Amino acid sequence: MTRRVAVIGAGNSKFGKRKDLTVRELAHEAAREAFADADLEPKDIQASVISVAGEAFAAQGAPAAVISDYIGLAEKPTQRVETACASGSTAIRTAWSMIAAGYLDLMMVVGVEKMTAVSTSEATRLMALAGDSKWEYPLGISFPGFYALMATAHMAEYGTTREQLSMVSVKNHYYGSLNPKAHLQKQVTLEEAIKSHMIAAPLNLYDCSLISDGAAAVILASEDVAKKLTDTPIWIKGLGWGGDTMLINERKTLTRLSGAKRAAQMAYKMANITPNDIDVAEVHDCFTIAEIIAYEDLGFAEPGQGGKLIEEEQTYIGGKIPVNVDGGLKAKGHPVGATGVSQAAEITKQLRGEVEPKRQVDGATIGLQHNVGQSGQFVNVIIYGRE
């Protein structure tokens, strides 16, 4: 029988173009905040799991050793995990597994990426290498292209509109403007979002997430230890993971991520809840169409109705299910290895009632994170809750 595991500390660096900091210094910024949040010191931590998606971005081989040493965990066991953009939530699932199994009691998870040290074109090329290096990357398809194919398919099958895509951007920029840790703290109008220049039709500039620098950290503890250290543990209640074919052309449909649906079902079953029980969600909006598809894969909307959900503003605070009220990847930023850990830190603070008042979901007790790697080859869904 597994032990219960809780998040007892969370930290997030400022996301953005952090040219003044190295990857290890970004990690330290987030870890320091998590230590302070949990009222712990590095000596208290038994081991760490580090999420860094790209060594080329970090300009550092074996980055886990460098990062764990710099944040004060020298001589403590550490390991690095990598599942592309889902690396952060995979790191959390890895640490959860070791604690739930009774192997350890207190672990730190750190996710970090330093992406802006290279040019935009080089960053795009490096991320495109996560596509199949024989049959996709050499033919010029990058991740805007993958998600443009999904958007085109969703529009053709369900009538999803250009306006609905841009409404996701407007919402996430609004909440990003309220988040002091966000990369872009500015609002955009629907007209601005619709008329921004094309990246990969039908996706334009405001449909695409940011190339960012940043880090996040969470501290996980076993039930006995958590109850000794905090009055507000945030329990990991359900976990699910899924995948899909490597080649996007081999999938049965482009209007959903099959691995995300399976991951969500697994997490809901473990937590013994339904989608209607979720009070706040962090979903992987690497592109606006990804958020709309996530609404459907997670059961917040029926297939084909995700566009209607955002059009009716049901994913704003006060609606059916507030989503990405920290700005999401679209406005908060997407430092790849940090993203999944940042989602967990946000949910933790939401459930404690500790975020900025205008973006706090009042009375939230159950939160969900949905973290996607590549174009759906890796997906993690994790459900968190207060007692």
| DSSP assignment string, 42-96 | GGG--EEEEE---HHHHT-SSHHHHHHIIIIITTS-EEEE-BTBTHHHHHHHHHH
**Token pair belonging to 177:** 């403007």
The pLDDT assigned to 387 comes to: 84
* Cα–Cα distance measured from residue 269 to residue 272, given in angstroms and rounded to the nearest whole number: 5
Q: Which member of 85, 154, 208, 284 is catalytic?
A: 85
Look up 85 and say whether it is catalytic.
Answer: yes
**Token pair belonging to 81:** 């995990």
Q: Say whether pLDDT at 145 is over 90.
A: yes
State pTM to two decimals. Answer: 0.97
The pLDDT assigned to 1 comes to: 66
pLDDT, mean of residues 149-160: 98
Torsion of CA 226, 228, 232, 235, to 10 degrees: 20
Q: Nearest Cα to 30, choosing from 348, 325, 330, 369?
A: 348
pLDDT, mean of residues 344-363: 98
Q: What is the pLDDT of residues 258-313, one digit of tens each?
A: 999 999 999 999 999 999 999 999 999 999 999 999 999 999 999 999 999 999 99
Query: What is the DSSP-derived secondary structure letter of residue 208?
Result: B
Domains of the chain listed by start with CATH number: 5-119+212-234 (3.40.47.10), 139-210+237-385 (3.40.47.10)
pLDDT, mean of residues 229-252: 97
pLDDT, mean of residues 198-203: 97
Look up 208 and say whether it is catalytic.
Answer: no
pLDDT, mean of residues 230-237: 98
Close Cβ partners of 61 (under 8 Å, ≥ 6 residues apart): 55
Burial tier of 285 (Cβ tally within 10 Å: 0-12, 13-18, 19+): buried
* Cα–Cα distance measured from residue 231 to residue 16, given in angstroms and rounded to the nearest whole number: 33
Torsion of CA 64, 65, 66, 70, to 10 degrees: 100
pLDDT confidence bin for 170, thresholds 50/70/90: very high
**Token pair belonging to 320:** 């059916």
* Cα–Cα distance measured from residue 24 to residue 130, given in angstroms and rounded to the nearest whole number: 24
Q: What is the pLDDT of residues 2-58, one digit of tens each?
A: 999 999 999 999 999 999 999 999 999 999 999 999 999 999 999 999 999 988 888
Q: Look at the alpha carbons of 178, 184, 187, 190 in this order and tell me if their dihedral is positive or negative.
A: negative
The pLDDT assigned to 76 comes to: 97
pLDDT confidence bin for 137, thresholds 50/70/90: confident
Q: Which member of 154, 173, 284, 334 is catalytic?
A: 334
State percent of the chain over pLDDT 70. 100
